Copies of this chain bind each other. A is one copy, B any other.
Amino acid sequence: MKLSDLGEDAVVSRLTRSLRLDGRVVVRPGDDCAVVETTGRLQLLKTDCVIEGIHFLSDADPKLIGWKAMCRPISDIAAMGGTPLDALVTLAVKPEIEFAWLKRVYSGLESAAAAYGVNLVGGETAKSPGPFFLSVAMTGSVARGKYVGRSGGRRGDWLYVTGKLGGSMNGRHLRFRPRLAEARWLVGQFPVHAMMDLSDGLASDLPRLAAASGLGFEIEASSLPLHSGMTVENALRDGEDYELLFAVPSAVRTRLEAEWRSKFPKLRLTAIGRLVEQDRTEFSLQGYDHFRR
């Protein structure tokens, strides 16, 4: 069976479900990050990559390629309620590439690392016979018992998204800003039951959060916060928004919305629907999948 027949979620699930992991592993593969016991606190671990021709075009600004590559795992660690710490960079590049171009990529990596307090502590450089490949692995930290995975959603929780959705591939995907401060504030102030970042589009990501929580969802299409000129379809399927999707109990809605407006006046926060029982999902969604044609 080809990967394109199975689809990304099935590929990952089939590859990882039999892994033998020791007692230090708190969250297995399948969430935004792995969570592992260290002395005192929990460690978050995440890797992500950008590939020429898939995540950016050959003529993209190399500094923005670096920025995006560093920001992707930062966004995942933010979505767990954690603080990013240290990054390792793996890059595969044609030997004919100009050093100045690669230096610009690194400059983008460093800018993002500096903006979010991350140490770029090492990596690996290899020659590639194919497209430029850039992977960033990152560690992060979260207080014991304080991480927010995808599986903690409860029936009746309200679903919120930060910012606006759709059309990221028009250029915004290379300049996005991980919602680190927002996620840390949310987790510090409110009982956030489940959270993730929107990388593959709401239509792919929301079903993952709901399924991880053993629930379904109801979404009001007209409530989705759209970027200018975008349709509901764009918001559902375009992906690469890197906004937060999270679930909170109904009781905190009024306080959350009021305090958010005062804390982050420039960033929209939108209630888009609720978590419901598994067989009650309303809104048939099918989103972006790395392997499906």
Contact = CB atoms under 8 A, between A and B. Distances in A.
Interface of A: 1-6, 8, 11-12, 14-16, 18-22, 24-25, 28-30, 33-34, 36, 38-41, 43, 45-49, 51, 53-55, 85-86, 88-90, 92-100, 102-103, 106, 110, 114, 117, 119-131, 133, 135, 137, 139, 290-291, 293
A98 B2 contact: yes
B11 A125 contact: yes
Chain A facing B: main interface SS: mixed
A158 B96 CA distance: 39
A178 to B, nearest CB: 16
Nearest to A291: B95
A128 B50 CA distance: 10
A53 to B, nearest CB: 5
Contact of A49 (B1, B5, B90, B94): B90
A36 B1 contact: no
Number of copies: 2
Given A3-B99, A51-B129, A54-B129, 19 more contacts: A1-B99, A2-B96, A3-B94, A4-B96, A14-B99, A20-B114, A24-B85, A25-B86, A25-B121, A29-B120, A33-B122, A36-B139, A40-B40, A54-B128, A88-B137, A128-B130, A133-B133, A135-B137, A137-B137
Contacts of A24: 85-86, 119
A119 B3 contact: no
A257 B92 CA distance: 40
A240 to B, nearest CB: 13
A25 B291 contact: no
A20 B116 CA distance: 13
Nearest to A292: B95
Contact of A97 (B3, B55, B129): B3
A283 B100 CA distance: 34
Contacts of A119: 19, 21-22, 24-25, 36
A25 B139 CA distance: 13
Contact of A139 (B8, B29, B45, B290): B45
A33 B45 CA distance: 16
A66 B266 CA distance: 47
B48 A90 contact: yes
A48 B95 contact: no
Given A47-B123, A124-B47, A131-B128, A34 B86 contact: yes
